[in-house]
Structure 1
């Protein structure tokens, strides 16, 4: 289950974890299909994350195109979301730089 701000509502709910649990239970009856289903689930989740990131990037770029640069707060949130995603995907402990806030 992903509970980070870097994802959209579809990704942040428990549906992916619940589906993975069902796949794991199905492994007993059909290991090959369970492996395919698990792979498909991961691919779907990664696509959802990539789509959400592209949408957010588009919002920042749209502000630039309109001549109004994104405000510092929106840029700070974008960097924070990136840090959270890298932390999640790499299971690293990336503490914020001391000069940054949250």
Structure 2
């Protein structure tokens, strides 16, 4: 899943789509969060880790979707959830969209 630019947002800096592309190249990540299922001291867990280097851990539509999916999966499987949050602000331009590809 990667963020898209459904409202063609432009800041004073560079176009939003260019910013996303730049951070993807810079970090090697597609988004500001990585999620997985694993074990901690032999206990099965669901974990999500945000990376501040990806737009300050900005929470766009994909980050929210991945966190929601992680929590839903963990709930269905009765797993504890750990989220390591590194959040530097909201990408308000995506707030009303559930857009990814």
TM-score in terms of structure 1 length:
0.31
Structure in which a larger fraction of residues adopt helix: 1
- Whichever of the two has the greater Rg, that structure is 1
Higher relative contact order (CA 8 A, sep 6+): 2
Greater strand proportion? 2
